[in-house]
Amino acid sequence: MAKAVRLADVARAAGVSQGTASNVFSRPEIVRPEVRLRVEESARRLGYAGPDPKGRLLRAGKVNAIGVVVMDDLTYFFSDPFNREFMRGVAGVCDQRGAGLALVSALDRAKAAWTINSAVVDGFIVQCIEGGDRLLELTRKRGLPFVVVDIDPGPGANSIVIDDRAGARLAAEHLLALGHRRFGILSLEIAGDGVTGPVDRTRRASAQYGATRDRLLGYQDAFAAASALPWWREQFGGYEEALAAAGIDIDDLPIIEALNDRRGAAAGAKALLDRAPEVTAVLAMSDVLALAVLDEARSRGLRVPIDLSVVGYDDVPEAAAAIPPLTTIAQPIEEKGRLAAQMIFDGGPPRREMLPVKLVVRGTTAAPRQNSPAR
């Protein structure tokens, strides 16, 4: 590659100062047409590509771009429905402000520091997990504005979370109200160690991922509180029934931990239905997981929601489009992305936002076939 031509070369060739040449490119209107043409001509002749952004950047200090950091590889941005929707929110704001968008992967712990320190951006959106303190610290040290999504690193940092626990509770309560008693849980990863399969009490207690832990807690809340709920009394009246209902212990339930990608979800759904074919309702911790349950059920000839009810979590676009459309806990995913990007662009003091969740009843939930509280 021949030595690149610089602004100075063009200026010299055109017989003007570098300052003037610079103006020709950044503010052409303030330079005399005659001179401008001469400079442009020289630029063309020398094959000058225009001001190099690298130089401009250093000078300007501002990059006009934000980076989104995930603890996964770059393909994750385009693979996971949830993250896609989130990114649509982020991208929308960047579009509005004419800002750029850089994707950064912090998968490799060793390289994460380097990646984060090299990103040419004005701020970060970090998709973090509980155990990722190191990542957070790295980001903080970089000294740029940042916002953390899905976990709250405490005051002093921007964060956006949802009430995972309340949402999960909503899901379980919905099923309980429908009369379900035999539940299976398809869980997101509990810790980032690649382990999947049946979850016991020990593992459950070791939850490193905040969302997983809180959703589990939310399910448990619903089971524990079931007997105290008015609708429950109304429906089942009797004291014994209520007691039995209250007696559902999450640690007695079949819980399968699965990776939240297509393959992992399919494997998890299969494992759950293999292990607990008697369940009438599945609580899936994400829509990806729930959709996999739908597929698995179909391939077993199980009709949803007649033979099996399924509730997802997140409400990704695919949920509403599924057949039947998925009942799920909706969180404002795109809004989350928008808000995160706005927090970066607008600056201001650290904010901690909690976005609302709500139950969206669609077509994958119904009363269990034998309507009595099951045995």
Residues binding DNA (CB under 7 A): 4, 6-8, 15-20, 22-23, 25-26, 30-32, 34-36, 50-52, 54-56, 58-61
Our CB check for DNA shows the closer of 8 and 354 to be 8
Instruction: Please report how close the Cβ of residue 100 comes to DNA at its closest, in angstroms.
Output: 17
Tokens of 147: 């916002």
Instruction: Please report how close the Cβ of residue 41 comes to DNA at its closest, in angstroms.
Output: 14
Our CB check for a copy of itself shows the closer of 37 and 243 to be 37
Our CB check for a copy of itself shows the closer of 144 and 217 to be 144
Tokens of 160: 């956006």
Instruction: Please report how close the Cβ of residue 125 comes to DNA at its closest, in angstroms.
Output: 23
How many chain residues interact with a copy of itself (CB under 8 A)? 47
Binding at 247: pick from a copy of itself, DNA, none (beta carbon under 5-8 Å per type): none
Q: In sequence order, what are the residues at sequence separation of 6 or more whose Cβ sits closer than 8 angstroms to the Cβ of residue 28?
A: 36
Q: Does 296 bind a copy of itself (CB under 8 A)?
A: no
DSSP string, 326-375: PEEEE--HHHHHHHHHHHHHH--S--EEEE--EEE--SS----SS-SPP-
Q: Determine which residue in the list 8, 30, 37, 49 makes contact with a copy of itself, applying CB under 8 A.
A: 49
Q: Determine which residue in the list 29, 32, 34, 143 makes contact with a copy of itself, applying CB under 8 A.
A: 143
Q: Which of residues 86-105 bind a copy of itself (CB under 8 A)?
A: 87-88, 91-92, 94-95, 98, 100-105
The total of other beta-carbon atoms located within 10 Å of residue 217's CB is: 16
Q: Does 53 bind a copy of itself (CB under 8 A)?
A: yes
Using alpha carbons only, give the angle 144, 147, 150 rounded to the nearest 5 degrees.
Answer: 150
Binding at 87: pick from DNA, a copy of itself, none (beta carbon under 5-8 Å per type): a copy of itself
Q: Determine which residue in the list 15, 19, 28, 47 makes contact with a copy of itself, applying CB under 8 A.
A: 47
Angle between helices 18-26 and 33-46 (to 10 degrees): 90
C-alpha–C-alpha distance, residues 311 and 285, integer Å: 8
Our CB check for DNA shows the closer of 57 and 74 to be 57
Q: Which residues pair with 104 in a beta bridge?
A: 69
**With left for phi above 0 and alpha for psi between -120 and 50, is residue 306 left, alpha or beta?**
alpha
Q: Does 319 bind a copy of itself (CB under 8 A)?
A: no
Radius of gyration over alpha carbons of the chain, in Å? 27
Q: What phi, psi does 3 have (nearest 5°)?
A: -55, 130
Q: Which residues pair with 126 in a beta bridge?
A: 69, 148
Binding at 8: pick from a copy of itself, DNA, none (beta carbon under 5-8 Å per type): DNA
Our CB check for a copy of itself shows the closer of 91 and 272 to be 91
Q: What phi, psi does 73 have (nearest 5°)?
A: -85, 170
Q: What phi, psi does 255 have (nearest 5°)?
A: -120, 125
Residue 276, helix vs strand vs coil: coil
- 3-state DSSP percent of the chain in helix, strand and coil, to 5: 50, 15, 35
Binding at 369: pick from a copy of itself, DNA, none (beta carbon under 5-8 Å per type): none
Locate all alpha helices (DSSP H) within the chain, ordered by sequence.
Answer: 7-14, 18-26, 33-46, 53-60, 76-79, 81-97, 109-118, 133-142, 164-178, 201-205, 210-225, 230-236, 239-246, 262-275, 287-299, 317-321, 333-346
Instruction: Please report how close the Cβ of residue 349 comes to a copy of itself at its closest, in angstroms.
Output: 13
Instruction: Please report how close the Cβ of residue 14 comes to a copy of itself at its closest, in angstroms.
Output: 18
Instruction: Please report how close the Cβ of residue 30 comes to DNA at its closest, in angstroms.
Output: 5
Binding at 134: pick from a copy of itself, DNA, none (beta carbon under 5-8 Å per type): none
Binding at 111: pick from a copy of itself, DNA, none (beta carbon under 5-8 Å per type): a copy of itself
Binding at 361: pick from DNA, a copy of itself, none (beta carbon under 5-8 Å per type): none
Pairing, β 358-360 against β 281-284: unpaired
Q: Name the residues that contact a copy of itself, by CB under 8 A.
A: 4, 47, 49-51, 53-58, 61, 63-65, 73-75, 77-79, 84-85, 87-88, 91-92, 94-95, 98, 100-105, 107, 111, 115, 117-120, 141-143, 323
